[in-house]
A and B are shown apart, each in its own frame.
Chain A
């Protein structure tokens, strides 16, 4: 599968990166530019395979959505009380995915963890695109999607406003803000790199990058302002990220359904979000490293650190998960207890146990260093973790709706049909399509920050010597 047209260009692959080092500090700055820019021109064949597969999946989703749009949501086999199906479950999943980018780019940025530098750009892109995907589900699940703008608070001659008591309005606001901010943040952090692209591009592309780089010259004054602005944005983004998923959790915690009405939901959701986001970073890390030949930048020690971070978050999630069960178990709420027992023993029990196994047991693989450094294992484990996290969201929606306060309307064997599955699959296609396009058009590794990192490491090693 190796795309071997130009052997000299792929020399980098064979270059040895010392195991203990996050990055080879000897690497020349020009080489960094060259490597990253090359990734934007000639990726491996696998890139196209992934891109076309995504496009195909996306088309499936589009077909299903058109079918559903024309016929009504009944086409998706939704019913009373299974009113949401996979749509809202997958919506939470994608919102969760969006947290990793902020974690790596903003939280680790202000904590000066510089190992994040080669990987934060794609993580940040992941944030943006998964938010866009999540937003799609908000639209897809609406009965009258053509009236979606009623949720937005806009002045109008009828003096009608959205209902500010509704968590869905909070949702729309929070997601809108978060999406805007993360696009700005992603773009802002990319400006110095876009200038490099501009300087190396020709023709139409040059104009494109010239426009996007917004006159970046790399002057001292520009860098100084850039640093302040970037730090400010990072600080702004962190509470947003936490609030977005807390608000998504409020959709449920604020409601009255047994199994949803739990105060620990916001931290539980945030932890779950970070968890699935980190797992997704591992997956994409491995894919990008291979597809774009980023072995020199996306090094094993960085993967190792990401895995350790993931494990820590997995344990936080497990803890909060246990709190959820325990509060239902010890609480005086008979309805919530019955709902919990139904999850563990009812129709969806296999999925519930699978979720607990995948979410709490499988991460222990990450404890072993040898496994952490084994790429195929990590690929499988990271995917499994995200399957577990998706199941978690499925477990939040479906069994709860199946087993509410009113026994007459319990459902025994409700399962999503092909339309729902098609749209969910389509969302994965949409996400990876956008992501792959991004990596092709924009530098997926931050050139200027890697240079900084290399410089700092070089200075540090010189100081040690």
Chain B
């Protein structure tokens, strides 16, 4: 029976993403826009993510070994070349919130031996903790290095009583040996989709946002449904002339939108808006 299932669904096991405009026929394709000119690097999103997604605090020792579990991290770069010619970073620092790019053609998905990370119909790169055996191949193949592995049995140490009362019951607490990553707060999306389905409609724009987008004091993060033409995210993508299924955007020069490491053909779902600096200042 399962063998016939395998043969019947053989084509679905083959990776064909990104379909050209595949998501257009669907109700949902979750995507994000991050405005780097608005991002101040304040780390509110990071903490919101810890709160929403039951991320363990790993402590100084583990952090020093590179075992931190921040699904969204704020990177701070100093300028290169012209900008750093002088003694000081004259144009300030460069902050980059880096989270899972929810690639439409995710390098992590193809290499997972057990299919623990796979693509959902609404365009998420999901992680099935129950299925994960912890080979970490996905992490090795992730160009953005945004997958975080449970190196330790964090549930035993990260939430001493009564801190565990804070844990979000909608989100699994991960045990040692599994990979985890940003889910675009899938628990919120699922809830919103269920609610909308009950009411016989599509999730409205702004009805559901990720924890990071909700917290961000400067509203630098916009989250929404790319399949909904009227959503802010879809309109921004369109205005910025970013096509999901393209690895090299042909766009006007003064548009700020871009995707990171796009030439690797990962087809990320996150568009960043270039940081702006007043060169006259």
Interface residues of A (CB under 8 A from B): 71-75, 77-84, 141-145, 147-148, 150-151, 155-157, 159-169, 172, 251, 254-257, 401, 404-406, 408-409, 411, 414
Known: A84-B140, A151-B113, A166-B112. A256 touches B3 (CB 8 A): no
> If A80-B66, A255-B107 touch, does A172 touch B113 (CB 8 Å cutoff)?
yes
How far is it, in angstroms, between the C-alpha of A162 and the C-alpha of B133 when the chains are bound? 11
State the 9 A-B residue pairs at the shortest beta-carbon distance, nearest first: A143-B134, A143-B177, A74-B151, A79-B66, A168-B113, A72-B176, A409-B145, A83-B136, A144-B177
User: Closest residue to B115 on the A side, CB-wise?
Assistant: A163
Are A155's CB and B2's CB within 8 A?
Answer: yes
B129 to A, closest residue via Cβ: A144
Contact partner of A406 (CB less than 8 A), chosen from B65, B67, B145, B148, is: B145
- Note all chain B residues with C-beta closer than 8 A to A155: 1-3
Secondary structure at the A interface, as helix, strand, loop or mixed, is: loop
Select A162's contact among B115, B141, B149, beta carbons within 8 Å: B115
* B residues 250-275 touching A (CB-CB < 8 Å): 261, 264
Q: Residue on B with the closest CB to A76?
A: B151
Closest to A258 in B: B143
B134 touches A73 (CB 8 A): yes
What separation, in Å, do the CA atoms of A155 and B143 have in the docked complex? 34
A256-B143, A257-B140, A406-B143 given as contacts; is B115 within 8 A of A161 (CB)?
yes
A166 near B2: Cβ-Cβ < 8 Å: no
Shortest Cβ distance from A163 into B: residue: B115
7 more CB-based (< 8 A) A-B contacts, given A143-B132, A165-B14: A72-B151, A72-B153, A78-B151, A166-B113, A401-B140, A411-B66, A414-B66
Contacts of A167 in B (CB 8 A): 111, 137
A74 to B149, CA, bound (A): 9
Measured between beta carbons, the chain B residues less than 8 angstroms from A81 are 66, 139-140, 145
Q: Are B137 and A80 in touch, CB under 8 angstroms?
A: no
Minimum C-beta distance from A223 to chain B (A): 41
**In the complex, what distance in Å separates the CA atom of A77 from the CA atom of B15?**
34
| Chain B 57-81: CB-based contact to A (< 8 A → 1; otherwise 0) | 0000010011110000101010000
Q: Report chain B residues within 8 Å CB of A80.
A: 66-68, 139, 145, 147-149
Instruction: Give Cα A254 to B118, complex, Å.
Output: 18
State whether the Cβ of B203 lies closer than 8 Å to any Cβ in chain A.
no
Q: Please pick, from B3, B62, B115, B145, the residue contacting A404 in the complex, using a CB distance under 8 A.
A: B145
Q: Cα distance A157–B137 when bound, in Å?
A: 27
A143 touches B149 (CB 8 A): yes
B149: chain A residues within 8 A (beta carbon):
73, 78, 80, 83, 143
Instruction: Decide yes or no: A256 and B145 within 8 Å by CB, A71-B152, A71-B153, A80-B67 being known contacts.
Output: no
The CA of A157 and the CA of B135, in the complex, are separated in Å by: 24
Distance of A145 Cα from B132 Cα, bound (Å): 10
| Contacting pair A162 B113 (CB below 8 A) | yes
A405–B140 touching, CB < 8 Å: no
Residues of B close to A148: CB separation below 8 A: 133
Could you tell me the distance between the alpha carbons of A159 and B152 in the complex, rounded to whole angstroms?
Answer: 31
Is B242 engaged at the interface, CB distance under 8 Å to the other chain? no
What chain B residues lie within 8 Å of A255 (beta carbons)?
107, 111, 137, 140-141
Across-interface contacts of B112 in A (CB, < 8 A) = 163, 166, 168
Contact pick for B114, options A77, A141, A151, A414, CB 8 Å:
A151
Min CB distance A380 to B, Å, is 35
Residues from chain B with Cβ under 8 Å of A142 in the complex: 133-135, 177
Determine if B114 and A150 form an interchain contact, defined as CB atoms under 8 angstroms apart. Answer: yes
B73 (CB) vs chain A CBs: closest residue: A408
Q: Flag B169-209 by CB within 8 Å of A: 1 or 0 each.
A: 00000001111000000000000000000000000000000
Chain B contacts for A414, CB-based, 8 A: 66
Closest to A407 in B: B77
Contacts of A166 in B (CB 8 A): 110-114, 137
* Among candidates A73, A74, A405, residue contacting B144 with C-beta atoms closer than 8 Å: A405
Inter-chain contacts of A161 with B (CB < 8 A): 2, 6, 13, 115
A172 to B133, CA, bound (A): 14
A to B CB contacts below 8 Å, 9 in the list: A72-B153, A142-B134, A145-B134, A155-B1, A165-B14, A165-B111, A166-B113, A255-B137, A408-B98
Most buried by B among A82, A83, A151, A165: A83
